[in-house]
């Protein structure tokens, strides 16, 4: 028996994966299905032919189960009508479902959020069409062209080897090459897609050559190995780029008595504690605003709360020098109770400042 012809480097060339069954009507009408797919892909050049062929075989397999020979019809006549379902496959692969609206003013924010979520979502899972069973590599890259439009690239292909020592070099060399192609050709086109697939095939070949040379050295052969590039059937698709993060409008700053601030000696404390302790107040603190809020809240305070308010305001103006312990003794309460009383009063003033 004749030995099958080997490729360059003593590696047997791999044949393309055939999705057709060996028997049955689908296998019998293989030329008809391939011709239909070829004509269909001429109308949708952005689709990968292998993916369309896989979908056509899937449809044909389902149609074969429902085909009745006894009616006397030809299988191709029955199948042709069902292969129109490839239009749905093409729509799913090439179009984006945008939300329709009737009142733009009332629903603009909702539509923006839905569109933002859709565009920031991970790219769809790529198709791995080369029939290999090794490591799966995916690439996700975004860029902005010269006109300021955002674009996103999603690539996926599967290697023939599951060895990490084989996949890592391919990934490390392919990623910068793809970015270089994007920098030189920032507008997504079918030509750019073809160049990316060629780069992937080239880098996979380089690693196969390196692996073969390493294997040959173990047997004493130190010659260079040159292999033919194989079509990895990389699934290369372009998407609309993700939106940049949305920043809310600037808000008017407001003093909060519980806000922390730093002193000259790098000590950090709360504004309310500084007021009670009689410490230095930050320069941007509006004393009159706090006094007005305190006077507005005074009629709604209890007798002890009024005493705590007057003591705090006295510390603020410098007319009262009692400490927290002394104030607690004067009111006949504990130090902890005085602290909670002070916090409750300043909490009410703070809420009034927010109004």
Q: What is the pLDDT of residues 39-51, one digit of tens each?
A: 888 888 778 888 8
pLDDT score at 244: 64
Pair 205, 227: CB distance under 8 Å: yes
Pair 56, 36: CB distance under 8 Å: yes
- Nearest alpha-carbon partner for 83 in 110, 64, 106: 64
**Integer CA distances (angstroms), 343 to 118, 297, 328, 347, in order:** 46, 14, 14, 6
User: With bands split at pLDDT 50, 70 and 90, how would you rate the model's confidence at 268?
Assistant: low
Least confident of 29-38, 71-80, 197-206, 226-235: 71-80
d(C-alpha 235, C-alpha 138), whole Å: 9
pTM: 0.42
Neighbours of 197 (CB within 10 A): 19
pLDDT score at 128: 83
Half-sphere exposure in the Cβ direction for 109 (13 Å, CA): 3
More confident residue, 288 or 139: 139
d(C-alpha 174, C-alpha 234), whole Å: 12
**Integer CA distances (angstroms), 137 to 155, 164, 199, in order:** 8, 11, 14
Mean pLDDT over each residue of the chain, to the nearest integer: 77
């Amino acid at each position: 028996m004749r030995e099958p012809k080997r490729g360059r480097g003593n590696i047997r060339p791999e044949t393309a994966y055939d999705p057709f069954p060996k028997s049955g009507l689908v296998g019998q009408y293989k030329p008809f299905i391939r011709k239909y797919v070829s004509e269909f892909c001429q109308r949708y050049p952005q689709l990968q032919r292998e993916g369309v062929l896989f979908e056509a075989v899937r449809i044909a397999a389902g149609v074969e189960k429902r085909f009745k020979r006894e009616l006397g019809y030809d299988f191709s006549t029955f199948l042709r009508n069902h292969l129109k379902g490839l239009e749905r496959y093409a729509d799913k692969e090439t179009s984006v479902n945008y939300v329709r609206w009737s009142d733009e003013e009332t629903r603009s924010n909702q539509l923006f959020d839905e569109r933002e979520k859709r565009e920031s979502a991970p790219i769809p899972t790529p198709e791995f069409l080369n029939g290999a069973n090794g490591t799966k590599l995916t690439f996700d890259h975004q860029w902005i062209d010269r006109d300021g439009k955002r674009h996103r690239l999603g690539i996926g292909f599967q290697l023939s080897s599951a060895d990490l020592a084989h996949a890592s070099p391919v990934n490390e060399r392919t990623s910068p090459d793809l970015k270089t192609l994007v920098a030189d050709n920032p507008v997504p086109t079918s030509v750019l897609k073809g160049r990316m697939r060629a780069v992937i095939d080239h880098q996979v070949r380089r690693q196969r050559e390196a692996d073969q040379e390493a294997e040959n050295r173990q047997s004493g052969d130190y010659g260079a190995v040159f292999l033919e590039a194989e079509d990895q059937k990389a699934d290369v698709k372009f998407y609309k780029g993700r939106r940049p993060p949305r920043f809310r409008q600037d808000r008017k700053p407001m003093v909060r008595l519980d806000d922390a601030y730093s002193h000259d000696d790098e000590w950090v404390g709360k504004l309310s504690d500084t007021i009670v302790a009689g410490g230095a107040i930050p320069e941007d603190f509006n004393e009159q605003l706090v006094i007005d809020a305190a006077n507005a809240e005074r009629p709604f305070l209890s007798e002890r709360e009024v005493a705590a308010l007057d003591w705090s305001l006295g510390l603020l103006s410098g007319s009262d020098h009692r400490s927290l312990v002394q104030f607690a003794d004067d009111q006949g309460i504990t130090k902890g109770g005085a602290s909670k009383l002070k916090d409750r009063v300043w909490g009410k003033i703070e809420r009034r400042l927010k109004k």
